[in-house]
Amino acid sequence: MQETAGITPAGEGIGGVVWNILGQTYKPRQLSANSFAFDTLFPPGTFVPPHIHTTQDEYIHILEGNFEFLLDGQVAHSGPGDLIRLPMGLPHGIFNKSSAPVRALFWVAPSRKLFELFSRIHNLTDPEQVVRISAECEVDFLPPPG
């Protein structure tokens, strides 16, 4: 997939696409073989459990609100304007433990299978199905601690 020139209008996903991923809203903003960017909205109490992107570097620019991260076993906090860098292979989890929504722009390089993953898990409610499909798309969720 080749990058194309153009404008993705504010508040929209490419082609009007909006995904519901376990209560979070994701809108694809840019897609090429080299990178994939998506706007997210995490309501209070939502999270992405610890996982690893085995084939991608991931970046998160916080636009509104505050995230708590688990970065390679360490807790970190971020707020508006912060940029989080997650090299491929680094275990990380993303949590909105606040009482306000968090909006952030995520992107990965290269894009690999993440667009496919989000398309396949849109509106799924079974976490086991999400974990299985994620592994097929090169995102490995870690077992719960204990």
> Which CATH fold topology does 19-139 show?
Jelly Rolls (2.60.120)
What is the per-residue pLDDT for 145? 64
Could you read off the pLDDT of 37-81 as tens digits, one per residue? 999 999 999 999 999 999 999 999 999 999 999 998 899 999 999
| High-pLDDT (> 90) share of the chain, % | 92
Tell me the CA distances in angstroms from 73 to 49, 51, 70, 123, one per residue in order. 12, 11, 6, 29
Tell me the CA distances in angstroms from 37 to 13, 51, 56, 108, 142, one per residue in order. 10, 19, 12, 7, 24
What is the per-residue pLDDT for 2? 81
Closest Cα to residue 31, out of 46, 43, 15, 45? 15
Residue 29, pLDDT above cutoff 90: yes
pLDDT band at 146 (very low <50, low <70, confident <90, very high): low
What is the per-residue pLDDT for 9? 92
At residue 20, the 3 state secondary structure works out as strand
- Per-residue pLDDT averaged across 99-127, rounded? 97
Domain spans of the chain, in order of start: 19-139
pLDDT band at 135 (very low <50, low <70, confident <90, very high): very high
CA-CA-CA-CA torsion sign (121, 125, 129, 131): positive
What is the per-residue pLDDT for 3? 83
Residue 15, pLDDT above cutoff 60: yes
Mean of pLDDT over the chain: 95
How far, in Å, CA of 23 to CA of 122, rounded?
10
Closest Cα to residue 36, out of 26, 44, 46? 26
State if pTM tops 0.75. yes
